[in-house]
Structure 1
Amino acid sequence: MEDISHQYKLKVPGMHCAGCIRTVEAALKRVPGTERVRVDYLRKEATVVGEASLEALLGELRAVGYPAEIISEGMQ
């Protein structure tokens, strides 16, 4: 059976500098199952691809001070 990757697009409104981007990206990459992370500073969004759970991703962002909400979810 093949593993199915999810793609989550998250709104991260608290980002306002390059340091924020690095923190958000590092936090998301720490979550087990994360394969790819892309952070868009201008849109204040992060896209995550992998097998990580949405709850784990949102929890890790909360833990580093960047509460986020889901914009969209899909399968890859």
Structure 2
Amino acid sequence: MTTYTETSMVKPEHIRIIDEQLKDLGSKVQDSCLDGQEHSLANVLHLACGGGSFEVSSLETLNGIGNSHFSIQCTCQNSVTRAR
């Protein structure tokens, strides 16, 4: 099992799963942003960690994203808008 942190590079197949689960939480990131490449978890979760309308209500909810192959351990610590 893989645990991703803000500095991790996320496998393309896991990005799709993360995106699907974020959409269930209200994310409106367009599918065209999913280009089949690895991305930094911080980039994938940028909107969810922000203070705007796409912000996920709690880190507990955000860290609940995953499946039997990976989990997320995110603090949103590097988010400019989440610095609280």
Please report the TM-score for the alignment, with normalisation by the length of structure 2.
Answer: 0.47
Larger helix proportion of the pair: 2
How many percent of aligned residue pairs carry the same amino acid?
16
Please report the TM-score for the alignment, with normalisation by the length of structure 1.
Answer: 0.51
In structure 2, relative to structure 1, the CA distance for the partners of 1:51 and 1:21 (3 Å cut) is: closer
Larger strand proportion of the pair: 1
Q: CA RMSD in A?
A: 3.2
The 1-side partners of 2:6 and 2:38 are apart by 10
The 2-side partners of 1:12 and 1:26 are apart by 21
- Between the two proteins, the alignment pairs up a number of residues equal to 61
The 2-side partners of 1:20 and 1:30 are apart by 15
| Cα shift at 1:25 | 0.9
Give the aligned partner of residue 40 of structure 2.
Answer: 43
CA contact (8 A) 1:15 1:21 kept: yes
